[in-house]
Structure 1
Amino acid sequence: MQNALFVGVSAQTALARELDVIANNMANVSTTGFKARSSRFQEYLMPVASADSFQRSDRRLSYVIDQGTPLDLTQGPVEPDSNPMHVALRGDAFLAVQTPQGLRYTRNGAFELDATGNLVTSDGHAVQGDGGPITIGQQETGLAIAPDGTISTNLGIRGRLRLVTFANAQALKSEGANLFSSEAPGRPAGPGAHLEPGALERSNVKPVVEMTRLMDVNRTYSMVSSVISRLDDLRGTAIRRLADVA
């Protein structure tokens, strides 16, 4: 009976983790360039005792182990908005930005100019070009971003956006604020990755799918809770009856 309680608790722990993932996805339905995460679990069979004196072999206990939350890297919907400083990423690539914590990566192409003329994201992080930060002078006009990331104004080319890719994008760590960090350095993105100027990539979260997952997880969690409660009642009954016999 005690083993059954442990199995139930392991299932509840995994389900609680999945609820956290779903909640985060739902909270970022409207976040530009957001990539959803899913939950991955694995069955863990408890090692059994090996004493030869047992009349029958032990039953193998199946627990649930959290195996991580992989990224869904599928392309999000691209919506034109005619803003010359907005770009949507298409393909396997990320934009490099400088943050107080160091170099980070994002799919958020909602750019703007700060008070000093630096090209920044909507969160104020400096967008990195191949040669570092990109600065536009106050006297410059006609800012345009080409599909290859080249930024130009009336005074000519001002830089080229740094697009990077990773050998194992699943190793990227979420840092919050729609940013990722990587222990491995990014490499220049291939020809399959390009920008769509005057547009933004929306979140790839599918609200209907997430709501379905949410209902399914809630039902399963309630069912497991009910089983644990009944097992606890059964144990209490057994203890009382054993006490009466004594």
Structure 2
Amino acid sequence: MQNALLVGVSSQMALQRELDVIANNMANVSTTGFKGRSTRFEEYLMPTASADTFSGADRRLSYVIDQGTTLDLGQGAIEPDGNPTHVAIQGEAFFSVQTPQGVRFTRNGAFEVSAQGNLVTSDGYAVQGEGGPITINPQETGLSIGQDGTVSTNLGVRGRVKLVTFANPQSLSNAGANLYASTAQPQPAGIKGRLESGALEKSNVKPVLEMTRLMDVNRTYAMVSSVITRLDDLRGTAIRRLADVA
């Protein structure tokens, strides 16, 4: 009976983790370039006991192990907005930006020109060009960003936005502020990514699907909780009856 309770608790812990992931997805439905995540679980079979005193073979117990989350790299809807500093990625690429914690990666192309003349993200992080940071003087006009990331003004080419890809994008970890961190070395995107100027990629989270998942998790959690409660009551009853003096 104790093992059954532990199995139920392991299921509840896994469901709590899934609920956290769903909540984060729902909170970022309107976040530019956000990529949703889904949970991955694995069945863990408890090894059998090795004692020779048992009359019969032990029954294998199946627990639930949280194996992390999977990043949904599906393309989000691209919506034009006419802003020349805004760009959306079509393909598998990521922007490379410089943060106080080091280089990070994002799909959020809501760029702007800072007071210092640097091309930065909406959070103020410098957008990395293939030759370093991209700087635009206040006197320059006619700013545009081409499909290949080339940044031009009335004075000519000012740089080229750096686009990168990863051999295993699932290794990317969330770093906050819609950024990703990676211990793997990024690779030039090449034909795997191109830009659409004057547009932004919306979140790829599907609210209806997430709400369905949320209801399923709540129902399953309630069911497991009910089973645990009944098992606990049964154990309490058994202990009381065993303690009764005939």
TM-score with structure 2 length normalisation? 0.98
Residue 111 of structure 1: aligned partner = 111
**Aligned partner of 2:142: which letter?**
G
Distance 2:192 2:97 in 1: 21
**Aligned partner of 2:72: which letter?**
D
**Aligned partner of 2:28: which letter?**
N
Residue 161 of structure 1: aligned partner = 161
> How far 1:130 sits from its partner (Å)?
0.5
**Aligned partner of 2:168: which letter?**
N
| Counterparts of residues 186-205 of structure 1 (less than 5 Å) | 186-205=186-205
Distance 2:245 2:125 in 1: 72
Sequence identity of aligned pairs in percent? Answer: 76
Residue 46 of structure 1: aligned partner = 46
> How far 1:33 sits from its partner (Å)?
0.3
Distance 2:158 2:114 in 1: 16
Is residue 131 from structure 1 mapped to residue 131 from structure 2 by the alignment?
yes
Is residue 217 from structure 1 mapped to residue 217 from structure 2 by the alignment?
yes
> How far 1:30 sits from its partner (Å)?
0.3
Residue 74 of structure 2: aligned partner = 74
> How far 1:8 sits from its partner (Å)?
0.3
Residue 12 of structure 1: aligned partner = 12
> How far 1:185 sits from its partner (Å)?
1.6
Distance 1:149 1:110 in 2: 14
Give the length in aligned residue pairs: 246
**Aligned partner of 2:127: which letter?**
V
Distance 1:54 1:238 in 2: 22
> How far 1:16 sits from its partner (Å)?
0.3
Distance 1:3 1:93 in 2: 47
TM-score with structure 1 length normalisation? 0.98
Distance 1:245 1:83 in 2: 83
Distance 2:60 2:29 in 1: 41
**Aligned partner of 1:20: which letter?**
D
Structure 2's unaligned 5+ residue stretches are none
CA RMSD of aligned residues (A): 0.8
Residue 237 of structure 1: aligned partner = 237
> How far 1:53 sits from its partner (Å)?
3.4
- Deviation sequence 1:39-60 (CA, Å, 0-9, x none): 0001000001133332211111
Structure 2 counterpart SS, 1:204: coil
Residue 22 of structure 1: aligned partner = 22
- Deviation sequence 1:108-143 (CA, Å, 0-9, x none): 000001111111111111101011111110100000
> How far 1:240 sits from its partner (Å)?
0.6
**Aligned partner of 1:105: which letter?**
F
Structure 1's unaligned 5+ residue stretches are none
Distance 2:19 2:245 in 1: 45
- Deviation sequence 1:130-187 (CA, Å, 0-9, x none): 1111111010000000000000000000000000001111001100100001111211
Of residues 42-51 and 145-154 in structure 1, the stretch that sits farther from structure 2 once superposed is 42-51
- Deviation sequence 1:10-32 (CA, Å, 0-9, x none): 00000000000000000000000
Residue 175 of structure 1: aligned partner = 175
